[in-house]
Structure 1
């Protein structure tokens, strides 16, 4: 399966999703990156910087939607892991805070939407069936 086999609507759907991620991350984390307290920087600075970096990479997804697919796969994987390893055990123990609950719903939205947007046949062909690049 080549890049040309994907219809234009699918590429534009990917572009829209990259734009959604970029705008969402930039609007929620951008202000705190520019105006923060020392305490915020110590506790949330790494996460904020990583997510703004992800938003910047997603801008490249507007131009190269297929080449940047690993970003969307990463988004799906980390959100599933967070739900299973963090939110679910907290829910079982009755220790869910409002912040965790908000993060859960944000992650759940990504877990629901991302698989709908991803071109799975293309991913299977290019990341699982295609021969690996040589090691030497």
Structure 2
């Protein structure tokens, strides 16, 4: 399947958005020697740092790195369904939660950037790698 040059540039812009926007917030924290994080805060920041670095590869290889955008979209949709929606339904949305909902909601643009037909052809209908030991 052929992906248009326009779609490839959209993908590159999507990767660059993550690398610059999230990287601009995450890497100063990672590189700050005075930062003192809890276990979970450390895990989250380091995972986000890795994501931003890998998104730089996506700028060069937009189709090969598609699972990265699919991961980004998937965790955000799970968070919205499992955390934000129940909080909203129970009326427990504070300012911090509202900021997160907005930030995570921006990820909805990836529904329109990801070439879903290519994803289905490549990851659903295409034969997987063989399992034989030979």
TM-score by length of 2: 0.91
| Number of matched pairs | 131
1:62 aligns with 2:84: no
From the two aligned structures, give the one with the greater helix fraction: 1
Match of 2:5?
A: 8
**Residue of structure 1 in register with 2:69 after alignment:** 72
Shift of 1:37: 3.1
> Considering only aligned residues, what root-mean-square deviation do their CA atoms show, in Å?
1.3
Q: Deviations over 1:84-107 (max 9, x none)?
A: 001111112222221111111111
What runs of 5+ residues in structure 1 fail to find an aligned partner? none
Choose the corresponding residue for 1:123, options 119, 124, 127.
Answer: 119
Q: Distance in 2 between matches of 1:74 and 1:42?
A: 22
**Shift >6 Å, 4+ stretches:** none
Q: Which residue, 87, 97, 103 being the options, matches 1:100?
A: 97
User: Aligned partners of 2:23 and 2:130: how far apart in 1?
Assistant: 38
How far 1:42 moved relative to its partner? 4.1
Alpha-carbon distance in structure 1 between the residues aligned to 2:35 and 2:123: 42
**Aligned equivalents of 1:7, 1:18: Cα separation in 2:** 17
SS class of match (1:133): coil
CA distance in 2, matches of 1:37, 1:126: 42
The 5-angstrom pairing of residues 37-56 of structure 1 reads 37-38=35-36, 40-56=37-53
Structure 2 gaps of 5+ residues are none
